[in-house]
Amino acid sequence: MEQEKPTIEGPDPATTLAQAAGLAEHLQRIGVQWLPTADAQSAQALATQFHVADEVAPPPQVENTAPSQASPPASAPADVASPTATPAIATPPAAAPSPPTAAPAFAFALQSDTAAASEPYAGPPLAADARAVQLAAFAETVAACTRCEILSKCRTKTVFGEGNVTPRIVFFGEGPGREEDLSGRPFVGKAGQLLTKMIQACKFAREDVYIMNTVKCRPPNNRNPEPTEIENCREYFQAQFQILRPEYIVCLGLVSAQALLQTKLSVGRLRGKFHSYFDSKVLVTYHPSYLLRNPAAKKAAWEDLQLMLRDAGLM
Ligand code: URA
C-alpha cells in the first residue's frame, strides 16, 4: 500500500525572497560586505540588492506592503495643532538651509538634503567601527561649536547623541533639557524616562537604537530653539543621519519633524504615515514631554510606533 507523503509547510518563495531582500538591505545599511551562501535564487536576490552582480537577473517583484506615502491610513488621525490647510506631504526637504558661518571639519563630503526624499544616502555605508570613529570626532567638533552665540554661552555640555551606531531606528528629539545639559546625554530626564519606556515597549533597549536631538545645546529656560539655531545645527544632524542611515527615523514632536521634513505642518497632520528622508522612513509622533502633559495622547503615540513595528516585521 502506498504511503501518503507528509507535506512539509515552509515559507513560500516570495516570503523568503522578501525576507532575504530585507536582510540584504539591513546588512548593506550597516556596512556588511559579504554574501552568505544560500540557495541560488536567494543569493541572486542578495547579490542584486548589493549591486555586486550586474549580470544577475533581478529578483522577482515582491509586493511592497509598506504604507504608501501618498495614501493616508484608513482613519486619519485628528489634527492636534492648528491645521495649515495644505495637504499632507511626504516629500523631500525643500528649502536649502542657509550656509553655516563656520564649516565643521567633516571627514567626508556632506550630502545635500535639499531634494532628497527617498533617494539613497550617497556613497557606501560605513562599517560599525568607522562610524564610531567618525561620530566621536564629530562630537568633538560639536562640543567646540560657537555658531549660536546665546546657546554656546548658556550650555554646560553639548548633547551630541548616543546609542547603537548601526541602528534600525533613530529617535530624533528637539533639544537638551536641564538634565541633558548637565550630563551631556540625550533624554535622561523625565521625558527621557518615558522615551525609554516607549523604546522598551517596542522590545528594544536604549542601547539598540540611536537617540539624538535637532539642536545640540540647551535653549535657555527650555524655550523652543529659534529657526536660526536649528539651521546652525542642521549640518550636524544631517551628517549624523548620513553616517547612521537608519531604516527608520522617529521624529519626537513638532520641532524635529518640521526641521527634518522642512515643513510647516502640525504633528497631527504628519503622524500616522511614513515620510522620507533619503531612504530612511520617517515617522512623526508626539514628544514624550507632550505625552507627560497629555497622557491621553499616549494611545496615539503607541499606534504610531506599532505602524513602524509592523512595517519592520517586528509585530
Ligand atoms: N527633550 C528632548 O527633545 N531631548 C532631550 O534630550 C531631552 C528632552
Q: Mean pLDDT per 10-residue run, the chain (315 residues)?
A: 55 67 72 57 60 41 32 32 30 40 54 73 96 98 98 98 98 98 98 98 98 98 98 98 98 98 98 97 98 98 98 95
Domain residue spans of the chain: 115-311
Per-residue pLDDT at 109: 65
Q: Is the CB of 173 under 6 A from ligand 1?
A: yes
Distance 178 CA to ligand 1 centre (A): 9
Given this model, what pLDDT does residue 106 score?
56
Question: Of 199, 211, 282, whose CA–CA distance to 248 is shortest?
Answer: 282
CATH 3.40.50.150 describes domain 115-311: no
User: What does each C-alpha distance from 218 to 57, 162, 178, 241 come to in angstroms?
Assistant: 52, 16, 7, 21
Pocket of ligand 1 contains residue 125 by CB under 6 Å: no
- 177 within ligand 1 shell (Cβ under 6 A): yes
> Is the sign of the CA dihedral 278, 22, 62, 17 positive or negative?
positive
305 CA distance to ligand 1 centroid (A)?
A: 18
| Residue 213 CB less than 6 A away from ligand 1 | yes
Task: Find the 311 Cα to ligand 1 centroid distance in Å.
Answer: 26
Residue 210 in contact with ligand 1 by CB distance below 6 A: no
Give residue 19's pLDDT.
66
* Cell output for 124: 557606501
